Chains A and B, each alone.
Chain A
Amino acid sequence: MDNIVFLQFIIPLVWAIGFFVFPWNKNKFKVYALVGSFIFFLNSLRLVYSIPAYEHINILIQIPFPHFFGMTYTIGLDGLSSLLVILNALLLIIVILATWDFETPKYKLYFFSIYTLIWAVNGSLLSINLFSFYIFWEAMLVPLFILVGVFGGKNRKYASYKFFLYTAAGSILMLASMVYLSALAFKANGSYDLTADIIKSLHLPYGGFLSPQSLVFWGFCVAFFIKVPVFPFHSWLPDAHVEAPTAGSIILAGVLLKLGIYGLLRFVIPVFPEAVLANQDIVMFLGVSGIIYGAITALAQTDIKKIVAYSSISHMGYIVVGIFSLNEQALAGAVFQMVAHGLTTGGLFVAVNCLYSRRHTKEVSEYGGIAKVMPLFAVVFFIMILGSMAVPLTNGFVGEFLIILGVYKTSKIFGALSAVGVILGPLYLLTMFQNVMLGEIKNKENESLKDLNWVELTPFIILAVIIIFHGVYPNSVLLMVQNMLKGLAL
Chain B
Amino acid sequence: MTLEKYTFLQPILVYLGLLCFSILSLPFKNRGKDFAHFVLIIAVLLFSFLLNQEPSYKMTEFFILNDYKIKFISVLSFFTIIIFLLNGRAEKKDVQNSLLAAFMLLGSIFLVGATEFTTFFVALEVISLMNYAQVTLSNSENAKESAIKYFIQGSIFSAFMLLGISFFMGSTGGFNFSEFKVLNQGLYIVSVAILFLVACFKMGAFPFHAWMPDVYSNVDRGNLASNFLITKLVVGYSFLSVIIRLINFADPKLQEFLVYGILVISVLSAFYGNMIGLAQNQFKRIIAYSSLAHAGYMLMTLCLTMEEGYEKQLMFYLVFYSISATGTILLINKILQKGPNIDFYDSLKGFFYRDGFSSSLLCLFVLSLAGMPLTSGFTTKYLLFTNYFREGFNLEATAVLISTVIGLGFYIKFLIVLFMEENISENSATNSTGGLLLVDLKDKLIHLLLALLVLLGGIAPSLFLR
Q: Which residues of A contact B372 (CB under 8 A)?
A: 138, 141-142
- Does A150 contact B420, Cβ atoms closer than 8 Å? yes
Interface flags for B372-393 (1: CB within 8 Å of A; 0: not) read 1110000100110111011000
Binds A, one of B90-98, B198-206, B298-306, B405-413: B405-413
Interface flags for A142-186 (1: CB within 8 Å of B; 0: not) read 100110011000001100110011001100110110011011101
Complex Cα spacing A186 to B394, Å = 16
- Does A135 contact B420, Cβ atoms closer than 8 Å? no
Q: Which residues of B contact A182 (CB under 8 A)?
A: 382, 386, 389
- Does A161 contact B389, Cβ atoms closer than 8 Å? no
Set B373, B397, B402, B463: member contacting A179, Cβ < 8 A: B397
Please give the distance in Å from A288's CB to the nearest CB on chain B.
29
Please give the distance in Å from B375's CB to the nearest CB on chain A.
10
Does B460 make an interface contact (CB < 8 A)?
yes
Complex Cα spacing A109 to B419, Å = 10
Interface flags for A52-70 (1: CB within 8 Å of B; 0: not) read 0000000000000111111
Does A107 make an interface contact (CB < 8 A)?
no
Main secondary structure on B side of the interface with A: helix
Residues of B346-397 at the interface with A, using a CB-CB cut-off of 8 Å, are 352-353, 367, 372-374, 379, 382-383, 385-387, 389-390, 394, 397
Does A134 make an interface contact (CB < 8 A)?
yes
- Does B460 contact A67, Cβ atoms closer than 8 Å? yes
- Does A139 contact B374, Cβ atoms closer than 8 Å? yes
Does A187 make an interface contact (CB < 8 A)?
yes
Complex Cα spacing A149 to B385, Å = 32
Set B389, B398, B408: member contacting A168, Cβ < 8 A: B408
- Does B389 contact A183, Cβ atoms closer than 8 Å? yes
- Does A179 contact B460, Cβ atoms closer than 8 Å? no
Q: Which residues of B contact A179 (CB under 8 A)?
A: 382, 385-386, 389, 397, 401
Q: Which residues of B contact A192 (CB under 8 A)?
A: 386
Interface flags for A178-207 (1: CB within 8 Å of B; 0: not) read 011011101100001000000000000000
Q: Which residues of A contact B409 (CB under 8 A)?
A: 165
Does B459 make an interface contact (CB < 8 A)?
yes
Does A444 make an interface contact (CB < 8 A)?
no
- Does B419 contact A138, Cβ atoms closer than 8 Å? no
Complex Cα spacing A91 to B355, Å = 32
Please give the distance in Å from A448's CB to the nearest CB on chain B.
30
- Does B416 contact A161, Cβ atoms closer than 8 Å? yes
Does B461 make an interface contact (CB < 8 A)?
yes
For A134, give the chain B residue with the smallest CB separation: B373
* Chain B interface residues (CB < 8 Å from chain A): 352-353, 367, 372-374, 379, 382-383, 385-387, 389-390, 394, 397-398, 401-402, 404-405, 408-409, 412, 415-416, 419-420, 459-463
A-B pairs with beta carbons under 8 Å apart, 11 shown: A68-B460, A134-B373, A138-B373, A141-B372, A150-B420, A164-B408, A165-B408, A168-B405, A175-B382, A176-B385, A176-B402
Nearest 8 pairs between A and B by C-beta? Answer: A67-B460, A183-B389, A183-B390, A67-B462, A135-B373, A149-B420, A169-B405, A138-B373
